[in-house]
Amino acid sequence: MTCPHCNFENPLGGKFCSSCGSALEKACGECGALARPDDQFCRACGRPLLAAANVSPSRQPIPARQYSRQDIEELLSLRKLIRKEEIASKTLNQDDVDKLFG
Amino acid sequence: MRLLSRTLTMSFAYRVLALDDSPHFRILITKLLKRFGFEAVETGENGMVGLQKFDTFKPDVVFLDGIMPEMDGLTVLRSIKGKNHTTIVVVTSSLSERDKVVQFKEGGADLYLMKPFEEAKFQEVAKKVVAILEGRSKASS
């Protein structure tokens, strides 16, 4: 589905643009039925759809952030650390086992 | 695994069944158990054989491998505890995932000895087993 805000081609099924965060569907203010962003009238109840309903306040487009190489390296090392901690939290050593068995 | 040269002089009449699919481990644990003082030691190579021997040998303690062919350790554990919940079951396994260990705990395992282990750790576990059994003997006498 093409984003009405940035024209990014999104995979089907998403509610928000994965590029800019804009809503890819809007709800009819009258009956609540979902509509495509470029629909002018609700297919369910025929009421006019407001353009303002296109983007919810909490989903206003977020400007793309530029990451430096240092930022990327920090994020990658953070991700590695989180993975290590996830693995460590799921596996036990003999001391942990002894505590578990009292 | 490092074997200590120290020979223990204690002797226990408790019957021990050790179930493990590794023949080397069965030899090793038999040696360790006898060195510790357990005189009646029987072994089995899988869960099915283990349960048959459990019925005939009537062990006080079972050292149970977590992963075995024919029938996995958790199933054997549940079956043993269903037959006789007073039998002490020590799981000897390399499984270290919390979920797996908790499953054995919830299945009724009394102790869990993680492989590989040092002989000192084995002796610590064996002492706990004897303490439980002797505590029961005193309580019933």
Helix B47-57 / helix B73-83 crossing angle, nearest 10 deg: 20
- pTM as predicted: 0.63
Q: Tell me if A90 and B99 make a contact (CB, 8 A cut-off).
A: yes
Q: Which class in CATH covers the domain with range B12-140? A: alpha beta
Count of domains in chain A?
A: 2
Residues in B whose CB is inside 8 Å of some CB of A read 96-99, 101-102, 105, 109-114, 117, 121
Model confidence pLDDT, tens digit, residues A78-97: 998 888 877 777 889 999 99
Domain span at A17: 1-62
The arithmetic mean of pLDDT across residues A25-45, rounded, is 78
**Cα angle B109, B113, B117; round to 5:** 170
Query: Tokens at residue B39, please?
Result: 């005189």
Tens-place pLDDT, residues B103-137: 999 999 999 999 999 999 999 999 999 999 999 88
> Are A95 and A57 members of one domain?
no
For residue B115, which of B51, B67, B69 has the smallest C-alpha distance?
B67
Residues of B in contact with A96 (CB under 8 A): 98
Q: ipTM for the complex?
A: 0.81
B97·A92 Cβ contact <8 A? yes
Same domain, A58 and A80: no
Which of B99, B101, B110 shows the shortest C-beta gap to A97? B101
Whole-angstrom Cα distance, residue B72 to residue B37? 28
A73 and A26 belong to one structural domain: no
